[in-house]
Amino acid sequence: MQENYLIVAIVAVIAIVLISLFIVVANLQKTVVVEVSHTPEQEEKERKIAIEALIDIAAKRTTTRNDLTNAILKAAKECPFPAKEKGVAPKVSKIYLNFVLLVASHRNADAKLIAFMDEELKKANPEYKREIDLYENEGIRRNGDPRGT
């Protein structure tokens, strides 16, 4: 009698294992990995949209210092400046440099924040050090003049 219970128990365990394996295999077959390839043009367009969103943040007079700090970090990490062509910055780089100008001239930007931006953006874009300095200085100049001129 106990042999019958032992056989039934073994068959039950084997059935449970087989059903579990079937469920796992069925779920694996349903899982589809879609790999999206980005062309350089798509990546450039996505970066341009991202930098434009950051510019919108920097352009708002109501933007807080924390928002500016987050925008600087995002710009440094996710929006690298376009590569220079034969040592000359392409026209699209003006968008990125305008971000520097807007942050430096923002009413909630202090010397510490501007120094932070300077360090982060120059670290991420070493070939633009000179341009970053120029736009930063222009922003600081505008920030000192309440009329912005």
* pLDDT tens figures, 70-92: 999 999 998 899 899 888 999 98
Domain ranges of the chain: 40-144
Asked whether 130 and 98 are in contact (CB, 8 A), the reply is: no
Q: pLDDT at position 16, please?
A: 93
* pLDDT tens figures, 36-54: 565 767 666 666 678 899 9
Band (pLDDT 50/70/90 cuts) for residue 32 is: low
* pLDDT tens figures, 78-131: 889 989 988 899 998 999 999 999 999 999 999 999 999 999 999 999 999 999
Burial class (CB in 10 A: 0-12, 13-18, 19+), 91: exposed
